[in-house]
Structure formats: structure tokens, C-alpha cells
Structure 1
Amino acid sequence: MATQLLDQIQCSVCLCEFTDPVCLPCEHIFCRRCITGHLRSGLGQSAACPECRLTFTESNIQTSRAVRNMVDAAKAHLTEHQALKMKADALATELEGQHLETHKLDSKTAECSKHQEKLSYYCETDQRLICGSCKKDNQHKKHKVKPIKDVEKTKKKDLYGLLDFLSTENTQLNDLIHKQTEEIKNIKERSGLASAQISLQFEELHQFLRRREMEVKNQLEKEEKGTVRVAEEKLSVVEALLREGREKQEMIQSALDKDTDRFAREKDSSHLKISANRVGLKKRSKKDRSLCVSTEGSFTSGQHYWEVEVGEKLDWEVGVGVCKSHNVTKDTTLALSYSSGYRISQHQDEQGRPVDVRVKPRKVGVYLDCERNQVSFYNADNMTLIGESTCHFNLPHSLCLFPGAYLEGKNSDPLTLCWY
């Protein structure tokens, strides 16, 4: 029983009795020095319990006052038990000696073999039975000698006391073992419940992570579809613009190819100019006294394109006009005014609407589409669109050039028709 109790207060690391016992979250108990050394022998901030392998950190190590008191009580009981055992062993040895000594006597007479007298005394010094003559001998004269009856009462009393003490101790040890066994059982049950709870929590965590993974994937797929849809819409717009640009390019090229036979090249110039007999002159208005020049030919169908070099002029107007009775009336024009900037005017509208021209053109392209009733103006230097407008085709139209105001010689450069 003492061995069982000793096992209960023994550290499983050092296999010795607990010294400064501490408790882990799994409720296993170790010496503080043993479990701290076990923790520090690892590579990280945590370690596994030597009993159940449950992970713990240094902050999880708790001093258990109840365990310490129980260990101290168990040690005290073991110490008393050891002392009592030694006392019982000594008494048993003494009784055994007396028993052997008695057997040396004549069992029938129970007399002293030396004096043939009845053994009626007990020498505590020699721990043997003696007779009255032995008591008077010099051998036992100074020894502590008592009558057998007195010694018997004392020994029986000691034995009964020892028996009661052992009975009480055994009862207490049985209770302690029972409590410790129940505690071990409870620890195992709590450990099992904790393990099940941990498994449940980790399963819930795994389910949450799986749900979150699906949510993130769905969100990514949704964003991908939205981004692709926007990109496809932009691509459709760009493709439409490209088709429109190609159509305009083809129409301009067609107009250029159609009217090639109407141009004449000068030997010393890269420009194409209209012959003098193909140009009509008239005064534009009394207001600015500038001239209006129109081409001799007029058109009611097809596509036609002209390029006019405006250079660094400060005031000019280029567009198409209505031909009627050898007179030309302005219909749709693009104008640069030294006072109001670039504007597109229609049908005698002197104000017109402003046009945002970021790069000043040196050449202006005029594209007349009779089929669409539309006039387009381009920066012929880089073929960017300046603006568009509709016109009326009840009568034939032709190209009109307005050199602009003289401005005291600052706007004296001519307008040169490069392509017609």
C-alpha cells in the first residue's frame, strides 16, 4: 500500500517524489524543475505533455497548492509509516528473540537451564527471560529487570497501540488512494471531453475555412466576369471606332482616286493648285471686305475631299457653299478668327459653335459626303477629326475658301489648295 502511495506522488520525468509540484492544463503533475527543463529543451515556445502529448506553454504551468499539500501529507504519512515499520520490525525481532530463547528452555518445566528455577523475570538489557537466581547474579545485577507479568502488560499495550495506529494509517491511506484514483479518473474524463471539444472546434474551423474559400472563389469569379464584360464592351467600342475610321478612310481614298484627273502638278512645287480660269471671285461682305473663292465644279452626289494649306494665317474660313446662278452662298464652314478662335458655322450663321482644337493645323482637310448630307473637317497633318456638321443639298455644292481680313498685313499669306 505504501508502494502504491509512493507511485502517486512520484514525478514521471525524474521518477522521484515531487519537488515543488506544478500542474498543466491537462491536469498532469510534475516537478517544476523537470517540466521547465522539458519545455526549454524544445525548439519553440511550446512543448508536449510527457503524459498525454497535449501542447502547453510556460504561461500554462500553474502552481497547485492543493497538490502540494497532498504531496506533503503523503510524505508525512510515508515518514510515519516508515518509522512505525522500523519500530514494528524491532519489536518483531525482539519477540522473535524471546520466542527463540523460550524454545531453548525446557518446554515442560519452563525453568532456567542453569539454575533449574522457574523463569519469572525479563531482562530488558539483554532482552531475555531469567529466573530469580539469574537476577541476583553479577551478570544481571546492574541490568534493568522486570517481572514477566509487568513486561507482558507493557508489551501488549504497545502492540495494541501499534495495531490501532496501523489500522488508522491504513484507513487513511486507503481513503487517499481512493481519492487519488477518483482524481485520475476525473482527469482522464476531463481530458477526453477537452479532446472531443478541441476536435469539434477544429472541425467547425475547417468548415468555416471551406465556406470562406468558396466565398472568395465566387467573389473572384464574379469580379472576373464583370471585368471581362467591361473589357469586352470597351473592345466593341474600339472595334466600332476602327470600322468607322476605316470606312471614312476608304471614302476619302475613293474621293481622291475619283478626282485625281482634276489636279495639275507644277514642276517647282509639291502643291496642287487650281488654274486661274477655274476660280471665280466675289466680295464676301461689306463688313470685312475679304474675298470668297469657290471651285468651278459643283456636286450633288458622291464623296469629295480637298486639302487647303492655311499655314500660319490668323484669320481664314474653309468649307462648302451652295452654287446658285453663278453665285456661291456659304453653307457649312470651319473658320479661324483672330478674335473668337475656331468655329463651325452653318447657313449664314456668323457666330457658329466653338470647336476645341488642341493642335493648330497647317493643312485642313474638307470631306463632303453628298449621300449622308455631311461635311467633315480634318487636321490633314495627322488626319485627326476636327468636327462634323450637316448641310443642305437642295442645290449643288462646291468648295469655298475665305482668305480672311487683311489685318494690316499680318494675315496676307494666301490659302493654297493642295488637293482637289
Structure 2
Amino acid sequence: MSAADSSLSENQFLCSICQDVFTDPVSTPCGHNFCKTCITQHWDSNVLYKCPNCNKMFSTRPELQVNTLVSEMVAHFRQSAQQKARSSSSEQQAAEPGDVPCDVCTGTKLKALKSCLVCLVSYCETHLEPHLTRSGLKRHQLIDPVENLEGRMCMKHDKPLELFCKTDQMCVCMFCTVLDHKTHEVVPLEEEYTRKKAEVEKTEAEIQQMIQKRRLKIQKFKRSVKVSRENTNRDIEDRNTVFTKLKEAIERNQTKVIKTIEENHKATEKRAEGFIKELKREISELNKRGAELQQLSHSGDHLDLVQNFKSSDAAPPTKNWTEVRVGPPSREGNERRTTVAQKLEMLKNEVKKLLTEIELKRVQQFAVDVTLNPDTAHPLLILSEDGKQVHCGLVRKNLPDNPKRFSTSIYVLGNQSVSTGRSYFEVQVKGKTSWVLGVARESANRRGIINFSPRNGYWTLRLKSENVYFAQTETRVPLSVESKPEKVGVFVDYEEGLVSFYDVDSGSLIHTFTGCSFTEKLLPFFCPCPNQDGINSAPLIICPVNHAE
């Protein structure tokens, strides 16, 4: 028999009365087949003789004969089924520790494929077949294999736990609902399963979302550590550069000071040598005169002594050495000390300038490409096409209302936000008599009168008029600026809470806001201030950063 015939026999060779494979199959006059015993007992218990399948009535009880063709086919089917079962058993996997074993298998227990909640038995693939083919067993509830099927039975009534009491939050059997849980809200177990499953899936999804958030947080922490390591290495390199240059500057100026001191010593030494030479000459003259006087004093010739000795010639002319000192005069000493002090002051200024240059070079490494956001610009402002320049015009443009736009103040924000790490940008302010620069919190007020202060979300530096600079806080902080900046650098360290402003050309620090607490994105802030009849018409220009070596 072909495989197709075998497949058909699984559905067609079942007796509709006993729901089992035919035994001694017989055929009725209407063409239906039954087990000989089944149809005989059926007609013995009924007065009318009719077919159980089609209900065709027979006037007399039909004489039944075994259908040899069907009988042979059934025998072949039984043989094929047995071979298939044996083959399937050999291919099935034996139960291992942790698996649910088949309760029917003898000898080697195979891995159960399903458990029946009606039979309270777990079946392997072979022994599960009757539950898949026999109509009576098909109505049994099959689940994935589980151990302790008895635990799924009501211990009180020995019936399946197929209902759920929502009042007591427990599984119950049918008898429980009539007795102990009569007034309680009871639903089918399948309904509660669907609800609980949806709740489990929701919770699982929430947990997965929490896991994902934490994984992202881990990645963020790792990135922060990596950035911190890079920044630390860069800072160490910068500090090494600073100390190397400081050492070079100190050594260079030390050499100059030592040279000056040595030159002063040589001048003193030369002066002393001149004095000594002159003193030796006088000593020689005095010795010569002393010898002459000694010879004269020993003479006994009265006339010779009187004639040759004159009082005015008693000693040769000499210099008064009482006030003569080897060191330089007081004025020269003061000049020497002044020269050394000047050189030390020059060293101090050089070190200060070197430190500011190194610091500016360090922050310039965090330069970002900033462009102006036209959606935030006040209608009087005129922006360049590349978004790098802004100045105040004379005609108010008719622009659509936008909640991002400054309504009453001539301000504009940048497109690029800062929410972590460090960033830096430079703006040319050359030719302007007033301007405001800095950063603003993304949610800071943009409507009506704006009070510039860190509390309101603005960290800004302002030139109000010629050489009048101040940091805008709750109370304005006047700033002392040595020279008028032509290019201003703005630096933000988000984690450290710093906003610093630099004079790029001189490399000096103008002002720093410290101790800031940033909790949201920061945006670059620009205000070119009113035109003032052309006096302040120059634009603010966002410049590319020149990373000076």
C-alpha cells in the first residue's frame, strides 16, 4: 500500500461506534462499515434497524458478512502502524535529567511530548497517537509535558483544576464553585490564563525595556570613562607641555639674571682692581719718600737737614680713601636691584601669558562647528546664507509665529546643542560697540522681557559700551579687560559646570561662570545689539577655530 493510502487509513478505518480501528469489518446495504460486534450489539438494543451513520431504515435486519477487502486493508494498516511506531520509538529521544518521561513506556523511558489533563498521564510521540486520532480522546486537554500532574487535580474533589476564583485568587474545580466558592467570581482557567499571560508579557516587555535602558546607561558610562581617559591624557600632555615651557622660561630668565649679576660682579672686580693699582702706586711713592726721610733723619749735618727738608714736602700727594668702597655706588646698586626685579616681573608675565596660551590651546581642541538657527532669530536680525553671520537690520521682517523665536529681543540661538562633555566656539566681534555672547538653556524663556542670569538659563558676557564689560548674573559683575577683544572664545564643560570666555588674540581669560548645574541641553547664544545708526552695524561672525601649536 502506498504512503498516501496509509495516510487515508488513519481517518477512514475507524468504526464510528467504538471509535477504534475496525475489528472484523462488515458493510451495511447502504455501504457503511462497522465492527461486526459493534453493529450487532447496536441492532440488538434497538427495535428499528437503521444505519448509525446515515440513518437509512431497513425493513428486515440485514445479513452481515465480513468485508474481506476492508479487513485486509485494516490488517495492512495495523502492520504499517506498528512498524511506524517501532521506527518512531527508535528515533525518539530518551528522557534525560530535567525532562518529563513518558508514563506509558516500559524499559527505556522516552521524552514526553504532551501531558493529558484528563488522563493525568504524560505521553511520548508514539503513545500520544491515540489522543490525536481517536475522536473520544481528541477532546482531552493536552498541554506541554509537566511533572506532578496530580497537583493539577483538586485535592478535595479529585477533579481537574479548570476554573479560577478571582475572589480568593486560586484555581478551583467545578465542584468547588458549587460548594466552597458558590458566591465568588469564578472564570474559566483559560480566561485567567489569557489575562495573566497578557500581564506577564507586559511585565516582561517593561523588564526588557528596563534592561535596555540600563544597557544604554552602561554604554553611556563606558563612553564617559573613555572620554574621561582621553581628556585626562590630553590634560596630562598639556600640563607636561606647560611645565616644560615654564621650566624653559625659568631657566632662560635665570640665565639672564645670573648674567646680570655676574656682569655687576665683574664691574665691581674691575673697579677694585683699579683702586688696588692706584693704592699700590701711592704705597710705592710713600715708601720712596719714607726712605728719603729716614736717610735725612740719620744725618748729623745740621745745615743739610735744615736746607733739604720742607714741611710741605713731608709726604707725597695721595688720595683720601676714607669714603671709597669696593662695591658700586648706592645709585648703581639700586639700578642693579631694579634690573633684577624687572627681569623677575618679566618672567612672571611670561609665565602668566604662557599659562593662558596653553589653557586656550587646550579648550580649542573641543571646537564644534556652530551655525545660527533662523527659526529662533528675532525678525529684525539678518542672517547670512551659511548661518555664520548675524547683524541687526532696520526693517522688521514678517515671519511666521514660532514658539522657538525670540519675540521682543534681538537674539538668536545656534543649532548645535551641548548635553555632555566639552565644546568650544569662537566669534569675531571686531568693529562692534556692543554685543552679548554665551549659552542658553534650551527651555529658557524667549518671550517678552528676558532677564539674563544663570538662574533663568542664560550664561552670557556683554560689552555694553566702549570698554565696559560685565558678566550678566543676578547682579552685574564688572570685568577688567586689558585690551578690547576682537575675537571671543566660548567654552563649556558640561560635567564640571563651567562656562568660560577668552580673548582669543591675547590668549587671556576674560571670565568664568563656575559651579553651574546643567540639567538639560545648552545652545549657543548671540546678540549683535541694535545698529545705532550704523555705529554698531558690524556683524557677529562665527569663525573657524585656528588650533595654534
Report the TM-score range of the alignment, normalised by the length of the smaller protein: 0.3 to 0.5
TM-score scaled by structure 1?
A: 0.38
TM-score scaled by structure 2?
A: 0.31
Considering fraction of residues, name the structure with more strand: 1
The higher relative CO (CA closer than 8 Å, separation ≥ 6) is in 1
